[in-house]
Amino acid sequence: MGIVVMTILFFSFKSCFNPTQKTEKSDYYILTNQISKMNKMVVLEQNSSAIQKTKMGYEFMGKEVSSNSIITYTKTNAQVSYDLNKMKMEVDSINKKLIITELPDADIRITPSVEIQSLDDSFFNRISEKDIKNVTQKAKDTGINSVDQNKLRTEGRKQLMENLNNIFVLAKALNYTIEDKTGKIGILGL
């Protein structure tokens, strides 16, 4: 009888220390180095695209003996934004004026991306990695140069004024006038 009790106790204790369910615990720690506020207003965005064919020929005694070509597709994105942290204002509550004393300059960001659409490589003279880099760099430069930055800046300024007009709705509702002391925006339609 003692052996049976010992056997039952042995298996009972064994089942307590060897659970049938496997558990897993993971601890995650998120480390945050820096969180910064971005008060940039993108006021205008322009997208353009271009296809460019570059032919590289090799001549022998004045005659072309072989040629290679690369066709690239370039997408260029241009954005005009303003850092609103740099905008400074004063409030004249006696004369009911909101005075803009400093307006940030436009930040124009142009980002071209180039994809190779076709690569016509000959057996005798291979297109090198250096050739590909040169062609893609020229395509990027063409994309950047195709953007009329002066026009973007002018259109961006107009759009900024429209956006500020919408932002200053509360000031106008309280019969405040908006005054520009920066000289950058001219007469405000605010």
Name residue, tokens 């436009």.
106
The pLDDT value recorded for residue 21 is: 52
The DSSP code sequence of the chain is: -HHHHHHHHHHHHHHHHS-SS------------------EEEEEEEEEEEEEEEEEEEEETTEEEEEEEEEEEEEEEEEEEEEGGG-EEEEETTTTEEEEEE-PPPEEEEEEEEEEEEEE--SSSPPPHHHHHHHHHHHHHHHHHTS-HHHHHHHHHHHHHHHHHHHTHHHHHTTPEEEE-SSSS-S---
How many Å apart are CA 111 and CA 25, to the nearest integer? 44
The pLDDT value recorded for residue 150 is: 92
Q: One digit per residue, pLDDT tens: the chain, 190 residues?
A: 666 556 665 655 555 555 555 555 555 555 555 555 567 888 889 999 988 888 877 777 777 666 788 888 999 999 999 888 888 888 888 888 888 888 888 899 999 999 988 777 766 667 778 888 988 999 999 999 999 999 998 898 888 888 887 777 878 888 888 888 887 765 444 4
The pLDDT value recorded for residue 187 is: 47
Which one, of 164, 74, 140, 152, lies nearest residue 109 by Cα?
A: 152
Phi, then psi, of 40 in degrees rounded to 5: -95, 140
How many Å apart are CA 176 and CA 8, to the nearest integer? 89
The pLDDT value recorded for residue 78 is: 94
Q: Residues 39, 43, 46, CA angle at the centre, nearest 5°? A: 130
